[in-house]
Structure 1
Amino acid sequence: MDVTVVAVGRLRSGPEHELISAYLKRLPWTLRIIEVEERRPIVGPERQTREADLILAALPPGAIVIALDERGKTLSSMDFSTRLTGWRDAAKPVAFVIGGADGLHEKIRTRADLLLGLGPMVWPHAMVRVMLTEQIYRAYTIATGHPYHK
């Protein structure tokens, strides 16, 4: 399975980076993290638009796009595993999008095949990356009958 996470901003060294690396080592699927960043000092809608352009340019062609959004659909780990397995069976790349501090531009929300929420709380981007990576690993273990989920 080919999975890409496109995230706005750079993740620095630290515990979040170490946790992500640990899950990536366990996961037999290809999972790439592409970081995009607007460096110009622009704010608000202009920044959101520019980040959307960078995200769209980084998406693999033909990918199923799942955008993380606080208002998105929440799924149990079992349901997420079922969806991820279905996407794997569709033989298309899967791309998750984590937006910037100003949120997702409507272009991204429209392009997304699914808006996925990690609950109603807002999380720091580094934590979202960790939680998403863990849930992708958990989905794999559920699909393969590995005892990790128990």
Structure 2
Amino acid sequence: EVVMSREGTDFGYALETAGGIARALPLLADVFWVLAGDVYVPDFTFTQASVDRFEDSGLLAHIWLVPNPPHNPNGDFGLGADGLAISRADEAWTFSTIGLYRRELFELPWCEVLPGNPQGTAEPLAPLLRRAMEAGQVSAEIYEGPWVDVGTPERLEELNQRA
């Protein structure tokens, strides 16, 4: 079953990633995948083994990082030798938008948006991830397969020319 969040109709604006996840939280399992709808990642495999490893870790999130594309040359997050994501690092990678999350990350005390997000709070994901990273609660790994953030008409056109 697919359930659509009609944020524009309900609130007049998008809830951003964490706000949208909080809105969907009552429908989600304790551990769930998130992937932005505007990334092209044809070879990424969503495996049960990844879910099992994440569940066993006890951490709040596990994210996949990619080499920095031209539109994000400085990256978003670092990766420590221990496999934990680093909020701010000299060598940073770009967040692919692919992640495994524990619902606890989107509840108090980590996230102040109420489950179901009835008030329509727009909440970005990066600040929430950074707080969890600073507490040592986010692991990460590098994905080096094909990945494109198709976030603009120009990048979509560039991707279509390659295909």
TM-score by length of 2: 0.26
Bigger Rg over Cα: 2
Q: Which has the higher helix share?
A: 1
